[in-house]
């Protein structure tokens, strides 16, 4: 039997196979973050096509935490009704659905958050979208911890199978973990232990809110892709601490906007040797941790996915852009068509979402040329 389609069952997770739809902003909510029918249809289709875990793109936990327009919100109890419809639709297709919760921190624009100045751990230029964030106060940090916990509880009330903390790609938790973004001298910075304090407090508050039986996962940067950013060792130490507290699984990622060749979604992944570009990091995590490890980053070939699992470098393989291009990709592989994903890694699917109609493949044929630039 293909390792890719083996079920995974432990005390907290019961997953039909080893495939994951990695969270990606879809741009398919309304102006206030409420779920719209198109988003439900998109994610339901992925589960119907055999994706084991579907993780919708990052739900923002409060209005000033939105990173992009038409992002899905989880900052109000009023969001629960639509989120419940989404979760139920995925589960009806035998998929598991995990709510990724996040705050953009300094990585947003005033226009996206009602004219407010973005806030992060420190007022550091150069990692955001042009607006230097202001430094969060201690009181604001405590409020954010509570907001993450309330968002996680809403995910549970909506019927999700778990929640994932977004600690990657230089959003707020990632900013606190990064020595480049976090220049604080108080208890939330200064040392690796100080930089991971915010994450630890968020995790503990979330787990207390949802209860010990509800799975809490994390997606974490192992590199920021810039000099002075987080190291694999610091990232692993933070994850190990959470694993000791009951963390259900970790998704290994890296990079940020502007980190060039180390960004999360890299262009031009055209051959198997370029795939799984965070594999070495996942292997290091797998060696040190007893919890499941999910690997994301440019995976497009079933042979690569199978080798990752057979080598025990990860327990799950996670994809996004290939599933935007081919929502039926996992089913195709399962049915015996083992051709590589048609996705050409142009990133134009993400630029398409900025038009207001939602993320979508631009529909390039195999013979068309990819030209121009796009967003990450």
> Are residues 251 and 22 in contact, defined by beta-carbon separation less than 8 angstroms?
yes
Nearest to 257 by CA among 61, 68, 122: 68
pLDDT digits (tens, 9 = 90+) for 29-61: 999 999 999 999 999 999 999 999 999 999 999
Residue 58 designated active-site: no
Residue 216's φ and ψ, nearest 5 degrees, are: -120, 120
pLDDT for 366 equals 40
> Are residues 118 and 60 in contact, defined by beta-carbon separation less than 8 angstroms?
no
pLDDT band at 363 (very low <50, low <70, confident <90, very high): low
Distance between CA atoms of 329 and 149, rounded to whole angstroms? 35
Lowest mean pLDDT among 201-215, 240-254, 355-369: 355-369
In angstroms, the first-to-last Cα distance of the chain is 36
Count Cβ atoms within 10 A of the Cβ of residue 238 and give its class: 0-12 exposed, 13-18 middle, 19 or more buried.
buried
Q: Write down the pTM of the prediction.
A: 0.95
Residue 69's CB: how many other CB atoms inside 10 A?
15
CATH class of 3-357: alpha beta
pLDDT for 212 equals 95
User: Which listed residue (171, 180, 203, 277) is catalytic?
Assistant: 171
> Are residues 265 and 320 in contact, defined by beta-carbon separation less than 8 angstroms?
yes
Contacts of 297 (CB under 8 A, 6+ apart): 253, 254, 264, 266, 275, 276, 277, 278, 279
């Amino acid at each position: 039997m293909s390792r890719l389609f083996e079920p995974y069952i432990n005390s907290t997770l019961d997953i039909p196979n080893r495939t994951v739809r990695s969270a990606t902003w879809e741009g398919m909510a309304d102006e206030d973050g409420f779920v719209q029918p198109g988003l439900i249809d998109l994610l339901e289709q992925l589960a119907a096509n055999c994706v084991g875990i579907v993780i919708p793109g990052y739900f923002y936990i409060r209005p000033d935490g939105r990173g992009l327009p038409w992002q899905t919100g989880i900052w109000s109890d009023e969001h629960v009704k639509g989120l419940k419809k989404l979760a139920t639709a995925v589960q009806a297709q035998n998929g598991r659905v995990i709510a990724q919760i996040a705050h953009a921190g300094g990585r947003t624009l005033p226009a996206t958050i009602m004219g407010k100045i973005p806030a992060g751990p420190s007022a550091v230029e150069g990692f955001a979208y042009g607006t230097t964030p202001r430094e969060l106060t201690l009181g604001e940090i405590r409020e954010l911890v509570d907001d993450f916990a309330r968002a996680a509880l809403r995910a549970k009330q909506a019927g999700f199978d778990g929640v994932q903390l977004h600690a990657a790609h230089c959003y707020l938790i990632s900013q606190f973990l990064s020595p480049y973004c976090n220049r604080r001298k108080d208890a939330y910075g200064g040392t690796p232990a100080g930089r991971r304090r915010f994450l630890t407090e968020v995790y503990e508050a979330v787990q207390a809110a949802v209860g010990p039986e509800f799975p809490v996962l994390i997606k974490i940067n192992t590199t920021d892709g810039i000099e002075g950013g987080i190291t694999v060792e610091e990232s692993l130490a933070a994850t190990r601490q959470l694993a000791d507290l009951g963390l259900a699984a970790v998704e290994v990622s890296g990079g940020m906007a502007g980190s060039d060749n180390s960004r999360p979604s890299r262009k031009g992944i055209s051959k198997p040797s370029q795939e799984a570009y965070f594999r070495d990091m996942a292997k290091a995590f797998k060696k040190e941790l007893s919890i499941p490890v999910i690997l994301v980053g440019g995976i497009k070939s079933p042979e690569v996915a199978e080798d990752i699992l057979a080598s025990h470098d990860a327990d799950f393989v996670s994809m996004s852009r290939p599933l935007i291009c081919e929502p039926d990709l996992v089913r195709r592989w399962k049915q015996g068509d083992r051709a590589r994903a048609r996705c050409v890694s142009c990133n134009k699917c993400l630029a398409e979402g900025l038009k207001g109609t939602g993320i979508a493949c631009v529909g390039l044929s195999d013979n068309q040329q990819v030209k121009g630039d796009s967003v990450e």
